[in-house]
Structure 1
Amino acid sequence: MNEERVVLVDEGGRYAGTAAKAAVHTADTPLHLAFSCYVFDPAGRLLVTQRAHGKRTWPGVWTNSCCGHPGPAEELPEAVRRRLSEELGLTVDRLDLVLPDFRYRAVMDNGVVENELCPVFRATTAGGAGEPDPAEVADTRWAVWDTFAADVLSGQAEVSPWCRWQVEELDRLGSDPESWPVAGEHELPPAARHR
């Protein structure tokens, strides 16, 4: 079985090699390429997920629909669709890039660091919540975006740090997720563009 690897990037978002995913998340995590996705149903509700309790980073914490890392030879939209299928058993009808250059660094209480260049996508699905992989997802729920965003922004809803920061930026795009402007591929960091 092949070892899963992540794409390392420099401060300019350019390709800087690869590293084993299992060895990356430490107290000295190098900057690497990732993605986040916010999945909406036809009624405009957001799928919110609780990270599995066995996850290395932020176990048991509620967050956006799906996160992951593209493989070294994998296009970013393909990686998003792959992880939505693997983690949630979901197929999406539409996938749009909305925050092309989101970046964050967060430190857990135990010193483990997340350090990611993490473009954010909006997706729509006609199906339900799918069948989550219990190794990745402990629970799911559908939320009304306005209520979810307001609770996150007020601190009433405890979510992962990246989700909190992403909601701040998404809220600035507008209160209706359908109206969020779609970014172009050219706005992505160089390492995340079509190769």
Structure 2
Amino acid sequence: MRGRMSTMGERIVLLDEAGQDIGTAPKAESHHGDTPFHLAFSSYLVNADGLVLLTQRAHDKRSFPSVWTNSACGHPAPGESLRAAVTRRVKDELGLAVTDLTLVLPEFVYRAEMRGVVEHEWCPVVRGRVTGEPVRDPAEVEAFAWRDWDGVRALLDDPSASPWFVEQMGYLVPLGSPLEWPAADPSLLPPAVLW
């Protein structure tokens, strides 16, 4: 129940179209059919063998249950840096310590809907390195799999892939394998968050 306990009082950072902080809202009450534009992140975790961790969201999650996606997603808390948010969420969801964080897609924005729940996020994409095996929080992660880059790209043809993963891969595939992804300029992040 790590995830359930840690997200009960969690607040998301609301954004205007320019990425400026315009306030906060309770996370638990903010994801619905008219979800406000807010700050989030996606991470891709790579191990020493160059394999990427894919995760399946828990079946009972309110937003986008059971979809397969990138390693971990989350929301920076008000005043929390992007690096700190990724580190916190990877530890909470997967029991892993993440190192060597690299900002890859600072300007990724998407909107998606599933079963009446909308995600509408400015969602920077980050790569990190991890060692060891995940110890998943079952309230957040149903299953996980380590895949080589060809295996990650194969998920694009799977109807269970998350819409944000599919959109992100449109930008990531041309960059090569994850260990080749170049670092992006942190000044391109929304003004509401520090790297």
TM superposition score normalised by structure 1: 0.92
Q: CA deviation at 1:123?
A: 0.6
Q: How many Å separate the matches in 1 of 2:60 and 2:152?
A: 25
Q: Runs ≥4 in structure 1, deviation > 4 angstroms?
A: none
8 Å CA contact retained: 2:66, 2:160: no
Q: What SS does structure 2 have at the residue aligned with 1:191? A: coil
Q: How many Å separate the matches in 2 of 1:181 and 1:102?
A: 15
Structure 2 unaligned segments of length 5 or more: list them: none
CA 1:159–1:183: 2 relative to 1, 3 Å:
same
Q: What SS does structure 2 have at the residue aligned with 1:165? A: helix
Code of the residue aligned with 1:116 in structure 2: it is E
Aligned to 2:149: 145
8 Å CA contact retained: 1:129, 1:140: no
Q: Deviations over 1:131-185 (max 9, x none)?
A: 1111110111100112321x134x24631000111111101222x2111110122
Aligned to 1:55: 61
Q: What SS does structure 1 have at the residue aligned with 2:14? A: strand
Pick one of 36, 53, 60 that aligns with 1:30: 36
Q: What SS does structure 1 have at the residue aligned with 2:104? A: strand
8 Å CA contact retained: 1:47, 1:129: no
8 Å CA contact retained: 1:49, 1:141: yes
Code of the residue aligned with 1:165 in structure 2: it is E
Q: How many Å separate the matches in 1 of 2:160 and 2:34?
A: 25
Q: CA deviation at 1:86?
A: 0.3
Q: How many Å separate the matches in 2 of 1:120 and 1:104?
A: 12
Determine if the alignment matches structure 1 residue 178 to structure 2 residue 182.
Answer: no
Structure 1 unaligned segments of length 5 or more: list them: none
Query: Structure 1 vs Structure 2: percent identity of aligned residues?
Result: 52
- Describe how 1:164-175 pairs up with structure 2 within 5 A: 164-174=166-176
Q: What SS does structure 2 have at the residue aligned with 1:192? A: coil
TM superposition score normalised by structure 2: 0.92
Q: CA deviation at 1:130?
A: 2.2
Q: How many Å separate the matches in 2 of 1:44 and 1:172?
A: 17
8 Å CA contact retained: 2:79, 2:193: no
Aligned to 1:88: 94
Aligned to 2:81: 75
Determine if the alignment matches structure 1 residue 121 to structure 2 residue 111.
Answer: no
Aligned to 2:164: 162
